[in-house]
């Protein structure tokens, strides 16, 4: 009996301990800066002293990106070392090969397998699951298998996060409504017609005795058979004399001044009254309180303190971080460019929101550095990319502030982890978006719309097989390359690449600098003219010919990169720890 | 502070057991419980006879009501006791002191008032009135781990309320009409009352 107790104790003690690290104290830090453009960096070396220091002491080069040069695609290649045809992520939105309907390409929510109907309810007997649609193995899974600890913060296309190391999901995390981010804007201005707009909804606010009760829309009620969306009330009491308002929902109370952002306000959405609810959080911007009532409410973010979606691994990781630094943006793309595109934000309001995101990112980085001991730390910045979309070429001074903030954070990494091997990289660069190409209108004008359709930012789908498909591909390719912009005679399309992967777009269209697909065409619709001016607040992009928008690669170690490509980086990071590349990875280590 | 929840819950459980012993007919309670167990056995014995099962269910329901009647007096006493304790217990176990640097809201249930905060707690806004609720609120931000007295002057009266920052015991009773919005706290991701009633229930069963 005594021996048995000792054996049980021994097994318990040895199995409870964390696996022994084989990193031997080695630290590798990767800072991923979405959309950091090499040309912009080169024009502003004096303002970016930390990046300049890495260039001088280590290496700076351009980093070739994927076709299509879109963030979900490029980051998936960085994660897996696979080409897009292998990892299967080609865009934010792709077309279902069976139904022809668009779907979000990063993850899919699978409803519970077993449930019982009770009146209007449909009670689940098994949990709903979120599954990643990206194929391939994440390189840090390989590291963990070799005993190298990995901490991965806000990695795009890592939702739900792979069950390896410690990770916080980034791009791909939806809001509670299940969208990429849907804001709500409440106004009592009779000129503002209540309506759904791209990226949000405009509501009419009814202010009585200084009080407006705002209905915040939550997720579809997964416990009801009709999946009717749930909502929660946010009570806003506007002071009759001063430009201040008190905000109340459930147990949460906050006060905001006109022109000010609230802190995160936790908000609960009842699925069954007093029994089951979903929790999220919002930030409120009091755009105007007197004489008009104009209040913006952010998309309902997953609350990291009590996440109802799988945003971290282990599940407690987001809670632990929030316990240390407070709540933070969890939405995949947190900068609300839609609010600016819809005229809800002016430029300064957009920048103030973007600044909140950057603050959160800096707090997250600070916390990550506090806890990083050895192995791999990956950290992602989104602000440069999202700000470039709205500022590039027209507000470069403002954009430079984002670059400088990231540069300062890199300086922080250099000073706090002087022994670490540091890599700074981006998934693509940037260029202006002046003219929009409506591919679907063009297909219509060419009489090809019955057999081909554009959807997404670079993709074209062909509804034909075999020889007919091949003939169509050749025809479309040659005609697109021959297309000219009537306003200036330029060729708006530089390359058209055939994709051989199954259940995927048939062609990728690589636009010339200054051009991009039109918004209508990206949504699968057709507008009025084939090429027109881009009059949107979204003034820059990167979904063009990948050769025109390479990313950046900085390393603290001196290397001689011939032509570094994104697919080389996971192989290189494995090589830094002496771990061989996985089968299917086609890149070469930059450290050879 | 959470550690004190265990003895408090156990003491409440012992008190509950004591009240049940002292103020209920124990023999009648025991007989009632035995009859309920007998009715439950009937379910297993007469599983093939729906009419008997139905009758057993009715008997079980009746017995439940009888048991409730037998323990009504001690339960009412315990409820009064719990209601009296609740504001303080909820202040201690349901909330945490204000974190330094984080904003909070103070609300007074009056149409207007003047607020004086102790040194180290910044009052960031003028009084914000809710015409609808006849309330006035302020946003405050503790600049460090400072606790002290908030002083509210309303209609010639002075109301004093403790404000606790960082760590300490939150006062759930004083300063009626004035609320400090302390952050909510959970114990192992559940409301403190879940653990309170679980532990006191176990204590009561052990001591019965």
Q: Which helix (H) or strand (E) holds A77?
A: helix A71-80
- Chain centroid to CA B168: how far? 19
Q: Do B130 and A237 touch (CB under 8 A)?
A: yes
Separation in Å, CA of B39 to nearest CA in chain A: 28
Answer yes or no: is pLDDT of A50 > 80. yes
Q: Which residues of B touch A324 (CB under 8 A)?
A: none
Q: How far is A263 from chain B (nearest CA, A)?
A: 8
Same-domain status, A494 and A426: no
What average pLDDT does range A280-298 have in this prediction? 97
Q: Indicate if A514 and A554 belong to the same structural domain.
A: no
Interface confidence, given as ipTM, is 0.83
Residue B167: give the domain boundaries: 104-180
C-alpha to C-alpha distance for A77 and A571, rounded to whole angstroms: 11
Please indicate, yes or no, whether residues B170 and B198 belong to a single structural domain of this protein. Answer: no
B69 pLDDT tier (thresholds 50, 70, 90): very high
The two structure tokens encoding residue A542:
């990167």
Asked whether residue A586 is domain-assigned, the answer is: no
Q: Would you call A251 an interface residue with chain B, using a CB distance cutoff of 8 Å?
A: yes
Q: Is residue A14 part of a domain?
A: no
Q: Is residue B51 part of a domain?
A: yes
Q: Residue B189: its chain A contacts at CB < 8 A?
A: 306
Tokens found for residue A238 = 């506007």
Q: Which of A237, A244, A306 sits opposite B132 (nearest CB)?
A: A237
Nearest CB to B132 within list A209, A242, A326: A209
A404 in contact with chain B, both atoms CB, cutoff 8 A: no
The answer to whether residues B65 and B128 belong to one domain is no
Chain B contact present for A253, CB below 8 A = yes
**CATH number for position A92:** 3.40.720.10
Q: What is the pLDDT of residue B175?
A: 73
Asked whether the beta carbons of residue A237 and residue B105 sit closer than 8 angstroms, the reply is: no
| CB < 8 Å to A306, chain B | 189
Kindly state whether residue A15 falls inside one of the protein's structural domains: no
**Nearest-angstrom CA–CA distance, A176 and A219:** 5
Spatial distance between the Cα atoms of A187 and A151, rounded to a whole number of angstroms: 43
Q: Is residue A17 part of a domain?
A: no
| B197 domain-assigned | yes
Residues of chain B contacting A263 with CB distance shorter than 8 Å: 102-103
Give the number of domains in chain A. Answer: 3
Please report, for residues A187, A348, A397, A398, the alpha-carbon distance to residue A393 in angstroms, rounded to integers and kept in the order given: 32, 17, 9, 10
Residues of chain A in contact with residue B181, where contact means CB-CB under 8 angstroms, are: 253
A326 in reach of chain B (CB within 8 A): yes
| B145, part of any domain | yes
Same domain (yes/no): B126, B64: no
| Residues A407 and A466 reside in one and the same domain | no
pLDDT band of residue A4 (cuts 50, 70, 90) is: very low
State yes or no: pLDDT of A2 exceeds 50. no
pLDDT tens digits, A229-272: 999 999 999 999 999 999 999 989 999 999 999 999 999 999 98
| Domain closes at, from A256, A275, A302 | A302
Mean pLDDT of chain A: 93
What values do phi and psi take at B72, rounded to 5? Answer: -60, -45
Which of A209, A210, A255 is facing B105, going by the closest CB pair?
Answer: A255
> How many structural domains is chain B composed of?
2
Task: Tell me the residues of chain A between 210 and 229 that have a Cβ less than 8 Å away from chain B.
Answer: 210-211
Q: Are residues A188 and A265 in the same domain?
A: yes
Handedness of CA A361, A362, A368, A372 (dihedral sign): positive
- Nearest Cβ partner for A210 among B102, B127, B132: B132
Tally Cβ neighbours within 10 Å of residue A581. 18
pLDDT band at B188 (very low <50, low <70, confident <90, very high): confident
Sign of torsion, CA B23 B25 B26 B31?
negative
| Ranges A257-261, A346-350, B16-20: which has the least confidence | B16-20
Contact call for B129 and A239, based on CB within 8 A: yes
pLDDT, greater one: A15 or A277: A277
List of chain A residues whose C-beta atoms are within 8 Å of the C-beta of residue B133: 237
Question: Are B138 and B63 in the same domain?
Answer: no
Which residues from B are below 8 Å from A when comparing CB atoms?
Answer: 102-103, 105, 107, 124-133, 137-139, 181, 184, 189
Judge if B38 and B69 occupy the same domain. Answer: yes
Query: Do A424 and A443 fall within a single domain?
Result: no
Would the pLDDT of A111 be above 50? yes
Nearest to A511, CA basis, from A587, A424, A431? A431
Do A104 and A142 share a structural domain?
Answer: yes
Residue B187: the pLDDT is 83
With 70 as the cut, is the pLDDT of residue B162 above it? yes
Which DSSP category does A449 fall into?
T
Are A162 and A53 part of one and the same domain? Answer: yes
From the list B103, B126, B130, which residue is nearest A246 (CB)? B130
Measure A335 CA to nearest chain B CA, in Å: 23
**What is the model's pLDDT at position A436?**
98
Judge if A272 and A407 occupy the same domain.
Answer: no
Residues 6+ apart with CB under 8 A from A4: none
Domain shared by A111 and A206, yes or no: no
On whether both B23 and B90 belong to a single domain, the answer is yes
The minimal CB distance from B125 to the residues A241, A244, A326 is found for: A244
Q: Residue A12: is its pLDDT beyond 70?
A: no
Residue B10 domain-assigned? yes
Decide if B129 and A209 are in contact by the 8 Å CB cutoff.
no
CB within 8 Å: B128 and A242? yes
Report the b/e string of A476-489 with b at 16+ CB within 10 A. bbeebeebebeeee
Tell whether omega for the bond before A114 is within 30 degrees of 0, i.e. cis: no
Q: How far apart are CA A567 and CA A86, in angstroms?
A: 12
pLDDT, tens digit (0-9, with 9 covering 90-100), for A445-498 = 999 999 999 999 999 999 998 999 999 999 999 999 999 999 999 999 999 999
Structure tokens at A51: 């990046």
Q: In this predicted structure, what is the pLDDT of residue A561? A: 62
Is residue A8 over pLDDT 50? Answer: no
- My answer on whether A557 and A452 are in the same domain is no
The C-alpha of B55 sits at a distance from chain A's nearest C-alpha, in angstroms, of 26
CATH number of residue A476's parent domain:
3.30.1360
Three-class DSSP category at A42: helix
The domain of A540 spans 433-545
A315 touching B, CB under 8 A?
Answer: no
Residue A208, SS3 per DSSP: strand
| DSSP β-ladder status, B128-130 and B135-142 | antiparallel
**Partners of residue B180 on adjacent β-strands:** B106
- Does A255 sit within 8 Å of B138, measured CB to CB? yes
Taking an 8 Å cut-off on Cβ atoms, the answer to whether A263 and B103 are in contact is yes
Report chain B's mean pLDDT, rounded to a whole number: 90
How near does any CA of chain A get to the CA of B123, in Å? 12
pLDDT tens-place string over residues A290-302: 999 999 999 999 9
The CA-atom distances, in angstroms, between B95 and each of A232, A373, B87 are 23, 34, 11
Shared-domain flag, residues B90 and B110:
no
Cβ contacts of residue A450 below 8 Å, gap of 6+?
A463
Residues of chain B found within 8 Å of residue A243, distances taken between Cβ atoms: none
> Which residues of chain B neighbour A209 with C-beta distances below 8 Å?
131-132
């Amino acid at each position: 009996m005594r021996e048995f107790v000792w054996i049980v104790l021994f097994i318990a003690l040895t199995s409870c301990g964390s696996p022994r690290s084989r990193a031997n104290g080695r630290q590798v830090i990767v800072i991923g800066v979405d959309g950091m453009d090499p040309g912009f960096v080169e024009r502003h070396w004096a303002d970016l002293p930390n990046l300049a220091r890495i260039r001088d002491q280590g290496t700076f080069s351009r980093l070739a990106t994927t076709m299509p040069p879109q963030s979900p695609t490029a980051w998936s290649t960085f994660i897996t070392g696979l080409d897009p045809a292998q990892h299967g992520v080609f865009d934010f939105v792709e077309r279902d090969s069976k139904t022809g309907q668009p779907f979000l390409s990063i993850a899919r929510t699978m409803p519970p397998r077993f449930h019982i109907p009770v009146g209007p309810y449909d009670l689940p007997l098994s949990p709903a699951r979120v599954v990643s649609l990206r194929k391939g193995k994440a390189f840090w899974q390989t590291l963990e298998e070799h005993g190298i600890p990995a901490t991965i913060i806000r990695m795009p296309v890592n939702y739900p996060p792979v069950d390896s190391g410690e990770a916080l999901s980034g791009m791909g995390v939806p809001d509670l409504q299940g969208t990429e981010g849907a804001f709500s804007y409440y106004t009592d201005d009779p000129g503002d017609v209540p309506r759904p707009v791209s990226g949000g909804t405009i509501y009419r606010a009814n202010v009585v005795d200084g009080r407006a009760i705002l209905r915040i829309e939550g997720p579809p009620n997964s416990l009801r058979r009709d999946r009717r969306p749930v909502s929660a009330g946010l009570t806003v009491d506007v002071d009759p004399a001063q430009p201040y308002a008190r905000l109340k929902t459930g147990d949460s109370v906050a006060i905001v001044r006109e022109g000010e952002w609230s802190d995160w306000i936790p908000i609960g959405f009842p699925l069954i009254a007093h029994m089951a609810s979903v929790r999220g959080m919002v930030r409120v911007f009091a755009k105007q309180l007197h004489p008009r009532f104009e209040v913006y409410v952010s998309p309902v973010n997953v609350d990291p303190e009590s996440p109802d979606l799988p945003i971290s691994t282990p599940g407690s990781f987001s809670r632990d971080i929030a316990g240390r630094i407070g709540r933070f943006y969890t939405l995949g793309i947190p900068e609300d460019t839609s609010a600016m595109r819809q005229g809800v934000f002016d430029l300064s309001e957009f920048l103030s929101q973007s600044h909140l995101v950057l603050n959160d990112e800096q707090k997250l980085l600070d916390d990550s550095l506090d806890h990083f001991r050895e192995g791999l730390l990956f950290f992602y910045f989104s602000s440069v990319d999202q700000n470039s979309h709205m500022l590039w070429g027209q507000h470069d001074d403002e954009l430079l502030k984002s670059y400088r903030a990231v540069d300062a954070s890199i300086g922080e990494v250099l000073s706090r982890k002087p022994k670490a091997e540091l890599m700074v990289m981006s998934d693509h660069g940037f260029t202006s978006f002046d003219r929009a190409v409506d591919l679907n209108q063009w297909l219509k004008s060419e009489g090809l719309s019955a057999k081909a359709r554009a959807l997404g930012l670079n993709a074209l789908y062909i509804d034909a097989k075999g020889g007919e498909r091949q003939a169509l591909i050749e025809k479309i390719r040659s005609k697109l390359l021959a297309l000219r912009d009537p306003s200036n005679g330029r060729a708006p399309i530089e390359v058209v690449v055939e994709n051989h992967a199954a259940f995927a777009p048939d062609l990728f269209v690589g636009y010339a600098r200054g051009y991009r697909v039109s918004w209508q065409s990206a949504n699968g619709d057709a507008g009025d003219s084939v090429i027109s001016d881009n009059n949107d607040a979204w003034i820059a992009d990167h979904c063009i010919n990948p050769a025109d928008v390479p990313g950046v690669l900085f390393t603290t170690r001196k290397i001689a990169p011939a032509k570094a490509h994104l697919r080389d980086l996971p192989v290189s990071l494995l090589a830094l720890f002496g771990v061989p590349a996985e089968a299917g990875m086609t890149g070469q280590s930059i450290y050879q | 502070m959470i550690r004190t929840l265990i003895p408090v819950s156990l003491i409440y459980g012992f008190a509950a057991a004591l009240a049940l012993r002292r103020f209920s007919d124990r023999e009648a309670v025991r007989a009632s419980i035995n009859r309920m167990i007998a009715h439950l056995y009937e379910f297993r014995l007469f599983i093939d006879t729906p009419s008997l099962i139905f009758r057993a269910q009715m008997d079980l329901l009746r017995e439940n009501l009888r048991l409730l009647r037998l323990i009504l007096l001690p339960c009412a006493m315990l409820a009064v006791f719990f209601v009296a304790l609740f504001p303080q217990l909820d202040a201690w176990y349901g909330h945490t002191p204000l974190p330094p640097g984080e904003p909070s809201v103070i609300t007074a249930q009056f149409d207007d008032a003047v607020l004086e905060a102790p040194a180290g707690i910044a009052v960031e806004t003028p009084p914000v009135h809710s015409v609808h609720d006849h309330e006035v609120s302020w946003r405050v931000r503790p600049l460090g781990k400072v606790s002290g007295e908030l002083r509210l002057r309303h209609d010639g009266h002075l109301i004093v309320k403790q404000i606790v920052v960082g760590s300490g015991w939150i006062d759930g009773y004083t300063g009626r009409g004035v609320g400090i919005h302390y952050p909510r706290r959970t114990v192992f991701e559940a409301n403190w009352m879940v653990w309170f009633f679980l532990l006191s229930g176990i204590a009561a069963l052990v001591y019965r």
